[in-house]
Amino acid sequence: MAKEQGAWFEQPGRFLDPGLVRELKRLREIGADEENEAVPVIVSFHREAEDSKREEVLNLCRDGSCNTVDGELKLLGGFHGKVRPGTLRELSEREEVRRIYYDREVRAFLDVARKSSGVADVQAQEGLTGKNVTIAVIDTGVYPHDDLMKPDSRIIAFADLVNGREEPYDDQGHGTHCAGDAAGNGYRSEGLYAGPAAEANIVGVKVLDANGSGQLSTVIKGVEWCVENREKYGIRILSLSLGAPAYESYRDDPLAQAAEVAWHHGIVVCAAAGNEGPYPGTISTPGFDPVIITVGAADDRNTVDRADDVKAPYSSRGPTIDLLVKPDVYAPGTHIISLSVPGSPIEEQLPENMVNEHYISLSGTSMATPFCAGVAALLLEANPRLSPNDVKAILMHTAQEMEGDQAGYLDVRPAVSLAKEYRNVQEATLGMKS
């Protein structure tokens, strides 16, 4: 008897990511009208694909009432849009198409923290504040909070890929909190609730909506915008306190690959591990990429003494889907007091977390990630010649051991010291060659 074949999207060799297969299966199970039900997807081409063949694919995706091409994704050599299941089947048979992804949802996941990590000592003794270093916060936006605007405005650019507005804003609150975690100067708290890089510049890139969610393709566009504008605004660091489930290897994940492109263009990429702990194997994308810096959250128990600091139970654990060790470092992420947006959804949802009218306390790897980005800014101020690989190696090498984990807890003082030592070596080497 002949073996019954499964649905076309479950057959091998179709080059569909597991998330897309799952969505197509769901649509079939609920009896959706496949002729009038469009699926949001990302399509990538083989590098050697001819322009004429690419155009044929684009035309195929524009054909019909439910098919649309919404935009190009340069970092992936492809595009995103909404396509009917029948058209997807045709796409999966085209030789020039490398892979088709489900354009799935991405979600958003400092007082004592500054002291326990050594930031306060470095700021006082070394005078480092992240000055002239730009951090791009890819999130829900950035509100012009006084801690970022006074005495001087440090929000030097804003890109809204959700609503297309020009002036900085944050209709959710998460991104502003993250910006403060990295670079708030404590203007409204007399310096008490300041981030590590209190003089760093901020670029806000809004990719998530008022609900704290967005599409994979929009986040990729945000990374792409930062790569294209890195020299214009001096962007040295990306902070990504967001993620989506990882279904397959980082080699085939579009957001992980976009993050790698940014890294290889000289930008330090810090990404949240996720908040699905303590279960193993819960690192999300793009944090599961081995190239970038993946940040887990520590709980400093609200004390300056590091001896009682532990991994936060909610912080996602490795190994990754590729069986790699992650996260790379831990940073303070529990009960972090940072900037609040007046009347934001976060204030309405968590009124008990408000700390006067200007600040709010939040926990998560979302808070640990920009904190790490702020520390990276201190290293780049101490030694502007550091590459992303240098920054990652220094942070990991100097991190304090955490029991039961290969990743350590950020220790800023030895990290800055090593960055400065390396600068002396670099300058001596350059001097010998000149």
Q: What is the pLDDT of residues 202-258, one digit of tens each?
A: 999 999 999 999 999 999 999 999 999 999 999 999 999 999 999 999 999 999 999
Other beta carbons less than 10 A from residue 37's beta carbon: 13
pLDDT of 3: 45
Class of domain 10-103: alpha beta
pLDDT confidence tier of residue 32, bands split at 50, 70 and 90? confident
Contact between 389 and 176 (Cβ < 8 Å): no
Is the predicted pLDDT of residue 69 greater than 60, yes or no? yes
Other beta carbons less than 10 A from residue 280's beta carbon: 11
Contact between 108 and 213 (Cβ < 8 Å): yes
pLDDT confidence tier of residue 275, bands split at 50, 70 and 90? very high
Is the predicted pLDDT of residue 147 greater than 90, yes or no? yes
304 Cβ contact partners less than 8 Å away, ≥ 6 residues apart: 112, 115, 116
pLDDT of 179: 98
**Planar angle of CA 238, 388, 258, nearest 5 degrees:** 50
Contact between 319 and 327 (Cβ < 8 Å): no
pLDDT of 10: 85
Task: Give the chain's mean pLDDT.
Answer: 91
Omega of the bond leading into 151 within 30 degrees of 0 (cis): yes
Domain map (residue ranges) of the chain: 10-103, 106-423
pLDDT confidence tier of residue 124, bands split at 50, 70 and 90? confident
Contact between 179 and 202 (Cβ < 8 Å): yes
The one-letter amino acid code at 63 reads D
Q: What is the mean pLDDT of residues 36-52?
A: 93
What count of Cα atoms within 13 Å lies in the side-chain half-sphere of residue 262? 35
Lookup result for tokens 């990991």: 396
In terms of pTM, does the model score above 0.85? yes
The one-letter amino acid code at 71 reads G
pLDDT of 4: 45
CA distances from 352 to 312, 321, 359, 363 (A): 21, 37, 12, 13
| DSSP per-residue codes, 162-225 | TT--SS--BSSSHHHHHHHHHH-B-GGGTTTTB-S-TT-EEEEEE-S-TTSEEEHHHHHHHHHH
CA distances from 221 to 99, 235, 432 (A): 18, 16, 42
CA distance 326 to 406: 8
* For helices 365-382 and 174-183, angle between their N-to-C axes, nearest 10 degrees: 40
414 vs 430, higher pLDDT: 414
Write the DSSP symbol of residue 244: B
Asked if the 106-423 domain carries CATH number 3.40.50.1580, the reply is: no
CA distance 228 to 247: 28
232 Cβ contact partners less than 8 Å away, ≥ 6 residues apart: 157
pLDDT of 305: 64
Residues designated as active site: 139, 174, 366
